[in-house]
């Protein structure tokens, strides 16, 4: 969410940013919010004048009564009543205007970083760098659900009967592998100085609207019927929400946290054949990382965060690449974003396994996360988030890249302590 003063003083910059994101339908909102703001400020000035006049006249009533001037006192009382009624109408008008202004501000996209490539959608994202050599073995690699089934590790039919499409049962070695990856990711981030956290899995509406756009909220979030609570789509939501309405001590920055949680997503829309199995699901688990820092440090932390994900995947022998998200692919609150994609030997291409985002002060402005600076002045913090690892999608990359011709799966050295020392998984069928 942008600062209203910034919009007022830089309307053309805001409009150009909207154009760069190919959201031209939002261009009229800039002039509309500026006009509403001007109307609101005038109404507030009128209210202040009425309030001052009412207070001034109120003081005369006692004097008139003391002097026996009943007519003058009654006239003063009448004027105070008229002022109060007019003031109440102006206050109601200001409240209405402020609600309209807030709604528009929540819709106008954040200013993207100058380094972001301009493009309409994810087809115009730009590859930055590859890590590890992509390999296509000389044997056929089955679809990931078929690999899992050879270990008796996946049961989609039972899950459909219990919960419907988009859910799953993981079992045996595959379930253990899932937990091992999460545990390894947790310790990987702790070793890099991040504080481990298990957050609430439900959050209130004011936190939801503080961390994401309305469009994302509608597409992702499950609401608890009859409660002011939503199931989280990622632990970033409750982790950033942890700092709502807080004034942080600058000396304690940055906050670097890594969190585990289950995640719940609607995943609206039709999905292709490559997204069956456990690729796109309503429930999964994830290890996340978030940073709350000073504005001047946010780009430095942005580079560190995505590098953490690259390093983790490479430690598990999975080739990856980084992809710079273009302007049209950025969610409205994001300043800059990089996706980490893992190599799929079966598809002979990369697919997304994580996303790193710098949101500038957008979330902090919505959630009122401020920092008390060394000079005593308060300013908005910057917030960032990144996926450490999100199985079971990550398991797809793991299984494909570590599969042998005989159907067994190699367990990289880094993961063996979490798998009871196993060096290889042997299929059951």
What mean pLDDT do residues 99-112 have? Answer: 95
pLDDT at residue 269, rounded to an integer:
52
User: Are 331 and 234 spatial neighbours (Cβ–Cβ below 8 Å)?
Assistant: no
More confident residue, 280 or 167: 167
Q: What is the mean pLDDT of residues 259-275?
A: 73
pLDDT band at 264 (very low <50, low <70, confident <90, very high): very high
Tell how strand 378-380 and strand 370-372 pair up.
antiparallel
- Place 274 in a pLDDT band, splitting at 50, 70 and 90: low
| Residues 330/360, Cβ–Cβ less than 8 Å | no
Separation of alpha carbons 180 and 183, rounded Å: 5
Q: How many CA atoms lie within 13 A of 56 on its CB side?
A: 7
Q: Looking at residue 275, what is its pLDDT?
A: 58
- Residue 253 near residue 371 (C-beta atoms within 8 A): yes
Percentage with pLDDT > 70 across the chain: 98
The pLDDT confidence band at residue 119, using thresholds 50, 70 and 90, is very high
**CA dist 313 → 194, 211, 321 (Å):** 18, 27, 10
All structural domains of the chain: 4-105 (1.10.287.40), 122-425 (3.30.930.10)
Q: Is the pLDDT of residue 397 over 90?
A: yes
Give me the chain's average pLDDT, please.
93
Identify the pLDDT of residue 273.
Answer: 45
Query: Would you say 203 and 235 are in contact if contact means Cβ atoms under 8 Å apart?
Result: no
Q: What is the pLDDT of residues 125-134, one digit of tens each?
A: 999 999 999 9
**pLDDT band of 362, cuts 50, 70, 90:** very high
Stated length of the chain: 429
- pLDDT tens digit sequence for 142-166: 999 999 999 999 999 999 999 999 8
Distance of CA 167 to the CA centre of its chain: 23
- For residue 271, pLDDT over 70 is answered with no
Could you tell me the two tokens for 108? 């106008």
Rounded average pLDDT over 260-281: 75
**Structure token pair of residue 98:** 């402020």
In terms of C-beta distances under 8 Å and separation of at least 24 residues, what long-range contacts does 372-380 make, across chains too?
A: 372/247, 372/248, 372/249, 372/250, 373/250, 374/250, 378/247, 379/295, 380/295
Give the pLDDT of residue 186.
98
């Amino acid at each position: 969410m942008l600062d209203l003063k910034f919009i007022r003083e830089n309307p053309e910059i805001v409009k150009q940013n909207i154009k760069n994101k190919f959201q031209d339908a939002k261009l009229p909102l800039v002039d509309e919010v500026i006009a509403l703001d001007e109307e609101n400020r005038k109404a507030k000035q009128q209210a202040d004048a009425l309030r001052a006049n009412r207070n001034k006249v109120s003081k005369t009533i006692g004097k008139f009564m003391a002097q026996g001037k009943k007519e003058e006192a009654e006239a003063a009382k009448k004027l105070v009543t008229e002022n109060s009624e007019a003031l109440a109408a102006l206050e109601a008008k200001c409240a209405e205007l402020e609600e309209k202004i807030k709604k528009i501000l929540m819709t106008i996209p954040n200013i993207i970083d100058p380094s972001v490539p301009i493009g309409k959608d994810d087809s115009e994202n730009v590859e930055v760098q590859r890590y590890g050599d992509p390999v296509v073995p000389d044997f056929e690699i089955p679809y990931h659900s078929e690999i899992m089934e050879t270990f008796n590790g996946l049961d989609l039919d039972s899950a459909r009967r219990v919960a419907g499409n988009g859910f799953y049962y993981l079992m045996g070695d595959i379930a253990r592998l899932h937990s091992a990856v999460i545990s390894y990711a947790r310790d990987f981030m702790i070793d890099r100085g991040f504080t481990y956290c298990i957050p609430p899995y439900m959050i209130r509406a004011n936190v939801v609207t503080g961390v994401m756009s309305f469009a994302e909220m509608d597409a992702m979030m499950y609401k608890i019927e009859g409660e002011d609570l939503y199931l989280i789509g990622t632990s970033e939501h409750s982790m950033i929400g942890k700092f709502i309405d807080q004034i942080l001590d600058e000396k304690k920055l940055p906050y670097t946290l890594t969190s585990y949680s289950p995640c719940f997503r609607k995943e609206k829309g039709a999905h292709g054949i490559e997204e069956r199995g456990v690729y796109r699901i309503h429930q999964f688990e994830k290890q996340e990382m978030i940073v709350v820092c000073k504005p001047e440090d946010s780009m430095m932390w942005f580079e560190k965060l995505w590098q953490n994900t690259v390093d983790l995947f490479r430690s598990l022998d999975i080739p990856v690449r980084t992809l710079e998200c273009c302007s049209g692919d950025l969610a409205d609150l994001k300043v800059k974003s990089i996706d980490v994609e893992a190599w799929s030997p079966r598809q002979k291409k990369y697919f997304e396994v994580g996303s790193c985002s710098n949101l500038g002060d957008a979330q902090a402005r919505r959630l009122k996360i401020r920092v008390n600076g060394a000079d005593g002045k308060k300013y908005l913090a910057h917030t960032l988030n990144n996926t450490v690892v999100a199985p079971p999608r990550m398991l797809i990359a793991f299984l494909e890249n570590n599969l042998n011709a005989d159907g067994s799966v190699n367990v990289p050295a880094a993961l063996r302590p979490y798998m009871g020392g196993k060096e290889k998984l042997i299929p059951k069928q």
